[in-house]
Structure 1
Amino acid sequence: MPLDVPGAQHLHSGKVRDLYELEGGELLMVASDRISAFDFVLSPGIPDKGEILTRMSLWWFDQLLDIVPNHVISTQVPERVRGRALVCEKLEMFPVECVVRGYLTGSGLADYRATGEVCGVALPEGLVDGSRLPEPIFTPATKADLGEHDENVSFEAIVETIGREAAEDVRTLTLEVYARAESVARARGIVLADTKLEFGRRPDGTIVLADEVLTPDSSRFWPADTWEPGRAQASYDKQYVRDWLVSPESGWDRASDTPPPDLPAEVVEVTRERYVQAYEQLTGERF
Protein backbone atom coordinates (compact mmCIF):
# COMPACT_ATOMS: atom_id res chain seq x y z
CA MET A 1 0.00 0.00 0.00
CA PRO A 2 1.29 3.50 -0.82
CA LEU A 3 2.04 5.84 2.04
CA ASP A 4 -0.42 8.52 3.09
CA VAL A 5 1.60 11.68 2.39
CA PRO A 6 0.20 14.95 3.81
CA GLY A 7 -0.50 17.50 1.10
CA ALA A 8 -0.23 14.93 -1.69
CA GLN A 9 -2.90 12.98 -3.57
CA HIS A 10 -1.95 9.45 -4.59
CA LEU A 11 -2.26 8.92 -8.35
CA HIS A 12 -0.57 5.66 -9.24
CA SER A 13 1.64 2.86 -7.92
CA GLY A 14 4.07 0.89 -10.04
CA LYS A 15 6.29 -2.02 -9.08
CA VAL A 16 8.63 0.23 -7.11
CA ARG A 17 7.47 3.86 -7.32
CA ASP A 18 4.39 5.66 -6.04
CA LEU A 19 3.24 8.82 -7.79
CA TYR A 20 1.37 11.67 -6.12
CA GLU A 21 0.12 15.11 -7.13
CA LEU A 22 1.04 18.03 -4.89
CA GLU A 23 -1.23 20.96 -4.15
CA GLY A 24 0.72 23.15 -6.57
CA GLY A 25 0.19 20.67 -9.41
CA GLU A 26 3.70 19.21 -9.45
CA LEU A 27 4.28 15.48 -9.16
CA LEU A 28 5.84 13.77 -6.16
CA MET A 29 7.67 10.57 -7.15
CA VAL A 30 8.44 8.28 -4.21
CA ALA A 31 10.82 5.33 -4.51
CA SER A 32 9.77 2.52 -2.17
CA ASP A 33 11.86 -0.37 -0.85
CA ARG A 34 9.81 -2.80 -2.95
CA ILE A 35 11.73 -5.06 -5.31
CA SER A 36 10.35 -6.82 -8.37
CA ALA A 37 11.51 -9.72 -10.49
CA PHE A 38 9.83 -11.68 -13.27
CA ASP A 39 6.92 -9.20 -13.12
CA PHE A 40 6.14 -9.95 -9.46
CA VAL A 41 6.57 -7.54 -6.57
CA LEU A 42 8.44 -9.57 -3.97
CA SER A 43 8.31 -9.67 -0.20
CA PRO A 44 9.96 -8.42 1.91
CA GLY A 45 11.45 -5.25 0.45
CA ILE A 46 15.13 -4.30 0.50
CA PRO A 47 15.93 -1.87 3.35
CA ASP A 48 17.13 1.59 2.14
CA LYS A 49 16.58 0.65 -1.51
CA GLY A 50 14.30 3.60 -2.25
CA GLU A 51 16.82 6.07 -0.88
CA ILE A 52 19.69 4.46 -2.79
CA LEU A 53 17.72 4.62 -6.06
CA THR A 54 16.79 8.26 -5.48
CA ARG A 55 20.32 9.37 -4.60
CA MET A 56 21.85 7.46 -7.49
CA SER A 57 19.36 8.90 -9.98
CA LEU A 58 20.09 12.43 -8.77
CA TRP A 59 23.83 11.82 -9.15
CA TRP A 60 23.38 10.56 -12.71
CA PHE A 61 20.98 13.36 -13.68
CA ASP A 62 23.81 15.78 -12.81
CA GLN A 63 26.30 13.81 -14.94
CA LEU A 64 23.96 13.98 -17.94
CA LEU A 65 22.71 17.57 -17.81
CA ASP A 66 24.69 18.62 -20.88
CA ILE A 67 23.08 15.81 -22.89
CA VAL A 68 19.42 15.96 -21.87
CA PRO A 69 17.30 17.90 -19.35
CA ASN A 70 15.59 15.94 -16.58
CA HIS A 71 12.26 16.17 -14.78
CA VAL A 72 13.54 17.04 -11.29
CA ILE A 73 12.20 20.31 -9.83
CA SER A 74 13.24 19.92 -6.19
CA THR A 75 14.43 17.54 -3.51
CA GLN A 76 12.45 19.47 -0.88
CA VAL A 77 9.74 16.90 -0.14
CA PRO A 78 7.34 16.09 2.71
CA GLU A 79 9.15 14.81 5.80
CA ARG A 80 7.51 11.39 5.61
CA VAL A 81 9.26 10.60 2.31
CA ARG A 82 12.45 12.61 2.80
CA GLY A 83 15.45 11.05 1.08
CA ARG A 84 13.41 8.80 -1.19
CA ALA A 85 11.27 11.26 -3.15
CA LEU A 86 11.57 13.98 -5.79
CA VAL A 87 9.30 16.80 -6.88
CA CYS A 88 9.03 16.45 -10.66
CA GLU A 89 7.55 18.07 -13.74
CA LYS A 90 4.35 16.80 -15.29
CA LEU A 91 5.25 15.44 -18.72
CA GLU A 92 3.60 13.62 -21.57
CA MET A 93 5.39 10.32 -21.05
CA PHE A 94 6.32 8.17 -24.04
CA PRO A 95 4.90 4.64 -23.53
CA VAL A 96 8.27 3.11 -24.40
CA GLU A 97 11.08 1.48 -22.44
CA CYS A 98 14.19 2.90 -24.13
CA VAL A 99 16.63 0.03 -23.69
CA VAL A 100 20.25 0.17 -24.81
CA ARG A 101 22.59 -2.80 -24.74
CA GLY A 102 26.34 -2.69 -24.90
CA TYR A 103 26.69 -6.34 -23.90
CA LEU A 104 24.61 -9.42 -24.68
CA THR A 105 22.70 -11.07 -21.85
CA GLY A 106 19.21 -11.58 -20.47
CA SER A 107 16.25 -11.40 -22.87
CA GLY A 108 18.54 -10.02 -25.57
CA LEU A 109 20.65 -13.17 -25.40
CA ALA A 110 17.53 -15.32 -25.64
CA ASP A 111 16.36 -13.42 -28.72
CA TYR A 112 19.83 -13.65 -30.29
CA ARG A 113 20.02 -17.41 -29.74
CA ALA A 114 16.61 -17.83 -31.38
CA THR A 115 16.97 -15.45 -34.34
CA GLY A 116 20.48 -13.98 -34.50
CA GLU A 117 18.89 -10.60 -33.83
CA VAL A 118 17.77 -8.41 -30.92
CA CYS A 119 14.71 -6.25 -31.63
CA GLY A 120 15.34 -6.54 -35.36
CA VAL A 121 19.03 -5.62 -35.07
CA ALA A 122 21.19 -8.32 -36.67
CA LEU A 123 24.29 -9.26 -34.66
CA PRO A 124 27.47 -11.16 -35.61
CA GLU A 125 27.62 -14.93 -35.20
CA GLY A 126 29.40 -16.52 -32.27
CA LEU A 127 28.38 -14.17 -29.46
CA VAL A 128 27.92 -15.66 -26.00
CA ASP A 129 26.49 -14.60 -22.65
CA GLY A 130 28.36 -11.45 -21.62
CA SER A 131 29.84 -10.65 -25.04
CA ARG A 132 30.57 -7.00 -25.67
CA LEU A 133 28.69 -5.88 -28.78
CA PRO A 134 30.54 -4.25 -31.70
CA GLU A 135 28.61 -1.08 -30.80
CA PRO A 136 25.72 -0.36 -28.42
CA ILE A 137 22.27 -1.06 -29.85
CA PHE A 138 18.88 0.50 -29.16
CA THR A 139 16.44 -2.30 -28.33
CA PRO A 140 13.15 -0.77 -27.19
CA ALA A 141 10.34 -2.50 -25.35
CA THR A 142 6.70 -1.81 -24.79
CA LYS A 143 5.93 -0.42 -21.34
CA ALA A 144 3.73 -2.98 -19.60
CA ASP A 145 1.17 -2.49 -16.85
CA LEU A 146 1.81 -3.77 -13.34
CA GLY A 147 1.99 -7.57 -13.44
CA GLU A 148 2.53 -7.67 -17.19
CA HIS A 149 5.80 -8.25 -19.02
CA ASP A 150 7.62 -5.64 -21.11
CA GLU A 151 7.94 -6.97 -24.66
CA ASN A 152 10.99 -6.38 -26.85
CA VAL A 153 9.94 -4.72 -30.11
CA SER A 154 11.54 -3.34 -33.25
CA PHE A 155 12.36 0.31 -33.83
CA GLU A 156 9.60 0.48 -36.44
CA ALA A 157 7.08 -0.61 -33.81
CA ILE A 158 8.14 2.39 -31.72
CA VAL A 159 7.76 4.64 -34.77
CA GLU A 160 4.16 3.45 -35.06
CA THR A 161 3.57 4.20 -31.38
CA ILE A 162 5.11 7.68 -30.96
CA GLY A 163 5.95 8.86 -34.49
CA ARG A 164 9.22 8.77 -36.41
CA GLU A 165 10.68 12.08 -35.22
CA ALA A 166 10.15 11.32 -31.53
CA ALA A 167 11.37 7.74 -31.99
CA GLU A 168 14.58 8.93 -33.65
CA ASP A 169 15.07 11.56 -30.95
CA VAL A 170 14.73 9.12 -28.04
CA ARG A 171 16.96 6.59 -29.80
CA THR A 172 19.68 9.22 -30.23
CA LEU A 173 19.38 10.41 -26.64
CA THR A 174 19.37 6.86 -25.27
CA LEU A 175 22.59 5.99 -27.10
CA GLU A 176 24.23 9.28 -26.01
CA VAL A 177 23.28 8.71 -22.37
CA TYR A 178 24.63 5.16 -22.51
CA ALA A 179 27.92 6.26 -24.09
CA ARG A 180 28.47 8.81 -21.32
CA ALA A 181 27.39 6.47 -18.51
CA GLU A 182 29.37 3.50 -19.82
CA SER A 183 32.52 5.63 -19.85
CA VAL A 184 31.89 6.99 -16.35
CA ALA A 185 31.15 3.54 -14.95
CA ARG A 186 34.16 1.91 -16.62
CA ALA A 187 36.47 4.52 -15.07
CA ARG A 188 35.11 3.37 -11.69
CA GLY A 189 35.61 -0.34 -12.33
CA ILE A 190 32.05 -1.17 -13.37
CA VAL A 191 30.78 -2.55 -16.67
CA LEU A 192 27.40 -1.05 -17.62
CA ALA A 193 26.00 -3.94 -19.62
CA ASP A 194 22.62 -2.39 -20.44
CA THR A 195 20.08 0.05 -19.10
CA LYS A 196 16.55 1.24 -19.74
CA LEU A 197 15.49 4.87 -19.77
CA GLU A 198 12.17 6.69 -19.88
CA PHE A 199 11.50 10.00 -21.57
CA GLY A 200 8.65 12.48 -21.58
CA ARG A 201 7.80 15.63 -23.49
CA ARG A 202 7.12 19.14 -22.22
CA PRO A 203 4.29 21.20 -23.74
CA ASP A 204 6.91 23.05 -25.84
CA GLY A 205 8.10 19.75 -27.34
CA THR A 206 11.35 19.45 -25.34
CA ILE A 207 12.21 15.81 -24.61
CA VAL A 208 13.10 15.23 -20.96
CA LEU A 209 14.74 12.31 -19.14
CA ALA A 210 12.37 11.10 -16.42
CA ASP A 211 11.66 8.43 -13.82
CA GLU A 212 14.88 6.80 -12.55
CA VAL A 213 18.18 6.66 -14.38
CA LEU A 214 21.08 4.20 -14.33
CA THR A 215 20.20 2.48 -11.06
CA PRO A 216 20.62 -1.20 -10.11
CA ASP A 217 16.88 -1.57 -10.78
CA SER A 218 17.06 -0.29 -14.35
CA SER A 219 20.57 -1.42 -15.34
CA ARG A 220 22.98 -4.32 -15.25
CA PHE A 221 26.22 -3.45 -13.46
CA TRP A 222 29.09 -5.96 -13.53
CA PRO A 223 32.48 -5.77 -11.79
CA ALA A 224 34.94 -4.93 -14.57
CA ASP A 225 37.74 -6.98 -13.05
CA THR A 226 35.76 -10.25 -13.20
CA TRP A 227 33.93 -9.76 -16.52
CA GLU A 228 34.41 -12.82 -18.70
CA PRO A 229 32.19 -13.64 -21.70
CA GLY A 230 30.75 -17.13 -21.89
CA ARG A 231 29.24 -17.33 -18.43
CA ALA A 232 26.86 -15.52 -16.12
CA GLN A 233 28.51 -12.43 -14.63
CA ALA A 234 28.71 -11.33 -11.03
CA SER A 235 26.52 -8.26 -10.62
CA TYR A 236 25.74 -5.22 -8.49
CA ASP A 237 22.04 -5.29 -9.34
CA LYS A 238 18.96 -7.41 -8.61
CA GLN A 239 20.26 -10.35 -10.67
CA TYR A 240 21.12 -11.98 -7.33
CA VAL A 241 17.39 -12.03 -6.50
CA ARG A 242 16.48 -13.45 -9.93
CA ASP A 243 19.13 -16.16 -9.58
CA TRP A 244 17.80 -17.21 -6.17
CA LEU A 245 14.22 -17.33 -7.41
CA VAL A 246 15.07 -19.75 -10.24
CA SER A 247 17.37 -21.89 -8.08
CA PRO A 248 16.16 -25.20 -6.60
CA GLU A 249 16.61 -23.63 -3.16
CA SER A 250 13.62 -21.31 -3.64
CA GLY A 251 11.26 -24.15 -4.56
CA TRP A 252 9.46 -21.86 -7.00
CA ASP A 253 8.40 -22.92 -10.49
CA ARG A 254 8.59 -19.85 -12.72
CA ALA A 255 6.30 -21.53 -15.26
CA SER A 256 3.52 -21.85 -12.69
CA ASP A 257 0.87 -19.27 -11.85
CA THR A 258 1.90 -19.15 -8.20
CA PRO A 259 3.64 -16.04 -6.85
CA PRO A 260 7.27 -16.37 -5.72
CA PRO A 261 8.07 -17.22 -2.09
CA ASP A 262 9.28 -14.62 0.42
CA LEU A 263 12.95 -13.73 0.11
CA PRO A 264 15.15 -15.18 2.86
CA ALA A 265 16.93 -12.75 5.17
CA GLU A 266 20.30 -13.61 3.60
CA VAL A 267 19.08 -12.77 0.07
CA VAL A 268 17.66 -9.46 1.33
CA GLU A 269 20.92 -8.59 3.10
CA VAL A 270 23.20 -9.48 0.18
CA THR A 271 20.98 -7.58 -2.27
CA ARG A 272 21.09 -4.47 -0.08
CA GLU A 273 24.89 -4.77 0.14
CA ARG A 274 25.15 -4.91 -3.66
CA TYR A 275 22.94 -1.86 -4.13
CA VAL A 276 25.03 0.07 -1.60
CA GLN A 277 28.25 -1.08 -3.26
CA ALA A 278 27.03 0.05 -6.68
CA TYR A 279 26.11 3.47 -5.28
CA GLU A 280 29.39 3.97 -3.42
CA GLN A 281 31.64 2.69 -6.19
CA LEU A 282 29.96 4.81 -8.86
CA THR A 283 29.51 8.05 -6.95
CA GLY A 284 32.51 7.91 -4.64
CA GLU A 285 30.14 8.85 -1.79
CA ARG A 286 29.39 6.92 1.39
CA PHE A 287 25.81 5.81 1.77
Structure 2
Amino acid sequence: MKKRLLSVLLSTVLLGIAGCGASSNQTQPSAPAPAPAEQKAENLLEKVKAEGKLRIGTEGTYAPFTFHDQSGKLTGFDVEVVTEIAKRIGVEPVFMETQWDAMFAGLDAKRFDVIANQVGIRPDRQEKYDFSKPYTVSTAVLATHKDNTTVKDFKDIKGLKAAQTLTSNLTDIARENGAEIVAVEGFNQAIDLLASKRVDVTINDGLSVLDFLKQKPNAPIKIVAKHPDAAKNGFMFRKGSTELVDAFNKALDDMMKDGTYLKISEKWFGADVSK
Protein backbone atom coordinates (compact mmCIF):
# COMPACT_ATOMS: atom_id res chain seq x y z
CA MET A 1 0.00 0.00 0.00
CA LYS A 2 2.82 2.39 0.91
CA LYS A 3 4.64 1.58 -2.32
CA ARG A 4 1.50 2.24 -4.35
CA LEU A 5 0.86 5.57 -2.60
CA LEU A 6 4.49 6.63 -3.14
CA SER A 7 4.22 5.74 -6.82
CA VAL A 8 1.07 7.83 -7.23
CA LEU A 9 2.67 10.84 -5.52
CA LEU A 10 5.79 10.57 -7.65
CA SER A 11 3.74 10.40 -10.83
CA THR A 12 1.80 13.52 -9.78
CA VAL A 13 5.00 15.49 -9.12
CA LEU A 14 6.49 14.46 -12.47
CA LEU A 15 3.32 15.42 -14.31
CA GLY A 16 3.35 18.81 -12.57
CA ILE A 17 6.95 19.41 -13.54
CA ALA A 18 6.25 18.41 -17.12
CA GLY A 19 3.21 20.66 -17.21
CA CYS A 20 5.25 23.62 -15.99
CA GLY A 21 7.88 22.94 -18.63
CA ALA A 22 5.29 22.76 -21.39
CA SER A 23 3.66 25.97 -20.24
CA SER A 24 7.02 27.71 -20.08
CA ASN A 25 7.89 26.59 -23.62
CA GLN A 26 4.57 27.80 -25.00
CA THR A 27 4.86 31.29 -23.48
CA GLN A 28 7.14 33.44 -25.62
CA PRO A 29 8.85 36.40 -23.96
CA SER A 30 7.10 39.62 -24.86
CA ALA A 31 8.97 41.89 -27.25
CA PRO A 32 10.32 45.05 -25.66
CA ALA A 33 8.09 48.09 -26.14
CA PRO A 34 9.37 50.32 -28.88
CA ALA A 35 11.25 53.32 -27.57
CA PRO A 36 9.20 56.49 -27.81
CA ALA A 37 10.19 58.71 -30.68
CA GLU A 38 12.34 61.65 -29.68
CA GLN A 39 10.22 64.69 -29.03
CA LYS A 40 10.82 67.35 -31.62
CA ALA A 41 12.39 70.49 -30.19
CA GLU A 42 9.83 73.23 -29.75
CA ASN A 43 9.82 75.81 -32.53
CA LEU A 44 9.13 78.92 -30.48
CA LEU A 45 8.47 81.07 -33.55
CA GLU A 46 5.72 78.70 -34.69
CA LYS A 47 4.26 78.68 -31.18
CA VAL A 48 4.31 82.49 -30.96
CA LYS A 49 2.66 82.82 -34.36
CA ALA A 50 0.04 80.21 -33.52
CA GLU A 51 -0.87 82.06 -30.32
CA GLY A 52 -0.62 85.44 -32.05
CA LYS A 53 1.27 86.87 -29.06
CA LEU A 54 4.88 87.55 -28.15
CA ARG A 55 5.39 87.58 -24.37
CA ILE A 56 8.09 90.07 -23.45
CA GLY A 57 9.84 90.34 -20.08
CA THR A 58 10.86 93.88 -19.14
CA GLU A 59 11.40 96.03 -16.04
CA GLY A 60 9.17 99.00 -16.70
CA THR A 61 11.36 101.07 -14.35
CA TYR A 62 14.45 101.62 -16.49
CA ALA A 63 14.18 104.93 -18.33
CA PRO A 64 14.58 105.68 -21.15
CA PHE A 65 14.48 102.06 -22.26
CA THR A 66 11.42 100.69 -20.47
CA PHE A 67 9.36 102.83 -18.08
CA HIS A 68 5.95 104.40 -17.47
CA ASP A 69 5.21 107.92 -18.68
CA GLN A 70 3.14 110.47 -16.74
CA SER A 71 -0.09 108.88 -17.97
CA GLY A 72 1.04 105.47 -16.69
CA LYS A 73 1.62 104.01 -20.16
CA LEU A 74 4.58 101.67 -20.63
CA THR A 75 6.99 103.26 -23.08
CA GLY A 76 10.67 103.65 -23.87
CA PHE A 77 13.27 102.85 -26.50
CA ASP A 78 13.30 99.08 -25.93
CA VAL A 79 9.51 99.01 -25.79
CA GLU A 80 9.22 100.76 -29.16
CA VAL A 81 11.88 98.63 -30.86
CA VAL A 82 10.46 95.28 -29.71
CA THR A 83 6.91 96.42 -30.49
CA GLU A 84 8.00 97.13 -34.07
CA ILE A 85 9.69 93.71 -34.26
CA ALA A 86 6.51 92.00 -33.04
CA LYS A 87 4.53 93.89 -35.68
CA ARG A 88 6.87 92.68 -38.42
CA ILE A 89 6.63 89.09 -37.18
CA GLY A 90 2.84 89.50 -37.26
CA VAL A 91 2.02 89.08 -33.57
CA GLU A 92 0.83 91.19 -30.64
CA PRO A 93 3.45 92.26 -28.06
CA VAL A 94 2.45 91.38 -24.49
CA PHE A 95 4.68 93.03 -21.90
CA MET A 96 5.22 91.30 -18.56
CA GLU A 97 6.93 93.56 -16.04
CA THR A 98 9.42 91.91 -13.71
CA GLN A 99 12.19 93.09 -11.42
CA TRP A 100 15.59 92.72 -13.04
CA ASP A 101 16.94 90.16 -10.58
CA ALA A 102 13.95 87.87 -11.23
CA MET A 103 13.88 88.33 -14.99
CA PHE A 104 16.21 85.52 -16.04
CA ALA A 105 14.31 83.07 -13.81
CA GLY A 106 11.08 84.20 -15.46
CA LEU A 107 12.54 83.42 -18.88
CA ASP A 108 13.77 80.03 -17.65
CA ALA A 109 10.28 79.25 -16.34
CA LYS A 110 8.77 80.16 -19.75
CA ARG A 111 6.75 83.04 -18.33
CA PHE A 112 7.82 84.99 -21.38
CA ASP A 113 9.49 84.32 -24.72
CA VAL A 114 12.10 87.07 -24.79
CA ILE A 115 13.66 89.73 -22.55
CA ALA A 116 13.79 93.31 -23.84
CA ASN A 117 15.72 95.22 -21.20
CA GLN A 118 19.20 96.18 -22.39
CA VAL A 119 20.71 92.81 -21.53
CA GLY A 120 24.48 92.82 -21.99
CA ILE A 121 25.77 90.11 -24.33
CA ARG A 122 28.41 88.26 -22.30
CA PRO A 123 30.12 84.88 -22.84
CA ASP A 124 28.78 83.44 -19.57
CA ARG A 125 25.22 84.34 -20.58
CA GLN A 126 25.70 83.03 -24.11
CA GLU A 127 26.49 79.60 -22.67
CA LYS A 128 22.92 79.37 -21.35
CA TYR A 129 20.89 81.74 -23.51
CA ASP A 130 20.44 82.79 -27.13
CA PHE A 131 20.83 86.45 -28.12
CA SER A 132 19.77 88.57 -31.04
CA LYS A 133 22.40 90.65 -32.76
CA PRO A 134 23.29 93.78 -30.74
CA TYR A 135 20.74 96.57 -31.04
CA THR A 136 22.48 99.09 -28.75
CA VAL A 137 26.05 99.83 -27.78
CA SER A 138 26.46 101.63 -24.47
CA THR A 139 29.14 102.64 -21.99
CA ALA A 140 28.96 102.19 -18.23
CA VAL A 141 29.42 105.37 -16.18
CA LEU A 142 30.32 105.98 -12.56
CA ALA A 143 27.92 108.41 -10.85
CA THR A 144 28.22 110.03 -7.43
CA HIS A 145 26.48 112.69 -5.39
CA LYS A 146 27.37 116.24 -6.44
CA ASP A 147 28.86 116.85 -2.99
CA ASN A 148 31.34 114.00 -3.39
CA THR A 149 34.82 115.30 -4.14
CA THR A 150 36.88 112.16 -3.49
CA VAL A 151 35.58 109.80 -6.17
CA LYS A 152 36.99 110.64 -9.59
CA ASP A 153 37.59 107.24 -11.15
CA PHE A 154 36.57 103.59 -10.80
CA LYS A 155 39.66 102.81 -8.73
CA ASP A 156 38.42 105.23 -6.08
CA ILE A 157 35.34 103.17 -5.13
CA LYS A 158 37.14 100.46 -3.15
CA GLY A 159 35.31 99.97 0.14
CA LEU A 160 32.50 102.36 -0.84
CA LYS A 161 28.81 101.49 -1.06
CA ALA A 162 27.57 101.01 -4.62
CA ALA A 163 23.86 100.70 -5.41
CA GLN A 164 23.54 97.88 -7.97
CA THR A 165 21.14 95.19 -9.20
CA LEU A 166 22.75 91.90 -8.24
CA THR A 167 22.90 90.15 -11.62
CA SER A 168 23.92 93.08 -13.82
CA ASN A 169 27.23 93.22 -15.67
CA LEU A 170 27.50 96.75 -14.24
CA THR A 171 27.63 95.17 -10.79
CA ASP A 172 30.60 93.08 -11.94
CA ILE A 173 32.50 96.31 -12.60
CA ALA A 174 31.68 97.54 -9.09
CA ARG A 175 32.88 94.25 -7.56
CA GLU A 176 36.06 94.22 -9.64
CA ASN A 177 36.91 97.63 -8.19
CA GLY A 178 36.29 96.56 -4.58
CA ALA A 179 32.98 98.29 -3.87
CA GLU A 180 30.52 97.07 -1.25
CA ILE A 181 27.36 96.12 -3.14
CA VAL A 182 24.02 97.47 -1.90
CA ALA A 183 21.30 95.51 -3.69
CA VAL A 184 18.56 97.48 -5.45
CA GLU A 185 15.61 96.51 -7.62
CA GLY A 186 16.46 98.83 -10.50
CA PHE A 187 17.81 102.12 -11.81
CA ASN A 188 15.33 104.39 -10.01
CA GLN A 189 16.08 102.94 -6.60
CA ALA A 190 19.83 103.23 -7.20
CA ILE A 191 19.47 106.92 -8.09
CA ASP A 192 17.21 107.56 -5.08
CA LEU A 193 19.75 106.02 -2.69
CA LEU A 194 22.56 108.03 -4.27
CA ALA A 195 20.63 111.32 -4.15
CA SER A 196 19.87 110.78 -0.46
CA LYS A 197 23.53 109.82 0.25
CA ARG A 198 22.61 106.36 1.53
CA VAL A 199 25.16 104.98 -0.93
CA ASP A 200 28.35 106.53 -2.28
CA VAL A 201 28.16 105.60 -5.97
CA THR A 202 26.30 103.69 -8.64
CA ILE A 203 27.64 102.26 -11.89
CA ASN A 204 24.95 102.40 -14.52
CA ASP A 205 24.25 102.65 -18.21
CA GLY A 206 25.52 105.98 -19.56
CA LEU A 207 22.46 106.55 -21.75
CA SER A 208 20.14 106.05 -18.78
CA VAL A 209 22.06 108.43 -16.53
CA LEU A 210 22.27 111.09 -19.24
CA ASP A 211 18.53 110.78 -19.88
CA PHE A 212 17.83 111.10 -16.14
CA LEU A 213 19.97 114.24 -15.87
CA LYS A 214 18.26 115.65 -18.96
CA GLN A 215 14.86 115.11 -17.36
CA LYS A 216 15.98 116.30 -13.91
CA PRO A 217 18.85 118.76 -14.35
CA ASN A 218 18.66 119.85 -10.70
CA ALA A 219 19.17 116.33 -9.33
CA PRO A 220 22.24 116.15 -7.03
CA ILE A 221 23.93 113.55 -9.25
CA LYS A 222 27.01 113.80 -11.42
CA ILE A 223 28.96 111.51 -13.75
CA VAL A 224 32.64 111.33 -12.80
CA ALA A 225 34.00 108.60 -15.09
CA LYS A 226 33.21 106.47 -18.15
CA HIS A 227 34.26 102.83 -18.42
CA PRO A 228 36.71 102.20 -21.29
CA ASP A 229 34.82 99.15 -22.59
CA ALA A 230 31.54 99.59 -24.46
CA ALA A 231 28.82 97.00 -23.84
CA LYS A 232 26.76 95.42 -26.61
CA ASN A 233 23.16 94.68 -25.69
CA GLY A 234 20.70 92.28 -27.29
CA PHE A 235 17.31 90.65 -26.89
CA MET A 236 17.69 87.47 -24.84
CA PHE A 237 15.95 84.11 -25.39
CA ARG A 238 16.00 80.60 -23.94
CA LYS A 239 18.60 78.34 -25.54
CA GLY A 240 17.25 76.67 -28.66
CA SER A 241 14.99 79.54 -29.78
CA THR A 242 16.80 79.62 -33.13
CA GLU A 243 13.85 80.40 -35.39
CA LEU A 244 12.58 83.24 -33.19
CA VAL A 245 16.09 84.70 -32.90
CA ASP A 246 16.42 84.61 -36.71
CA ALA A 247 13.07 86.39 -37.05
CA PHE A 248 14.23 89.11 -34.63
CA ASN A 249 17.50 89.55 -36.51
CA LYS A 250 15.73 89.85 -39.86
CA ALA A 251 13.33 92.42 -38.44
CA LEU A 252 16.24 94.42 -36.97
CA ASP A 253 18.11 94.31 -40.30
CA ASP A 254 15.01 95.51 -42.15
CA MET A 255 14.39 98.28 -39.60
CA MET A 256 17.95 99.54 -39.96
CA LYS A 257 17.76 99.44 -43.75
CA ASP A 258 14.44 101.27 -44.05
CA GLY A 259 15.25 103.92 -41.41
CA THR A 260 12.73 102.79 -38.77
CA TYR A 261 15.41 101.98 -36.21
CA LEU A 262 17.19 105.31 -36.70
CA LYS A 263 13.90 107.17 -36.30
CA ILE A 264 13.24 105.48 -32.94
CA SER A 265 16.86 105.97 -31.81
CA GLU A 266 16.91 109.67 -32.66
CA LYS A 267 13.58 110.16 -30.90
CA TRP A 268 15.02 108.90 -27.61
CA PHE A 269 18.71 109.80 -27.84
CA GLY A 270 19.23 112.18 -30.74
CA ALA A 271 21.72 109.72 -32.25
CA ASP A 272 22.13 106.19 -33.60
CA VAL A 273 22.81 104.05 -30.52
CA SER A 274 23.45 100.86 -32.48
CA LYS A 275 27.08 101.92 -33.07
TM-score w.r.t. the length of structure 2 is: 0.27
Per residue, is there more helix in 1 or in 2? Answer: 2
TM-score w.r.t. the length of structure 1 is: 0.26
Work out which structure has the larger RCO, using CA pairs closer than 8 Å and 6 or more positions apart in sequence: 2
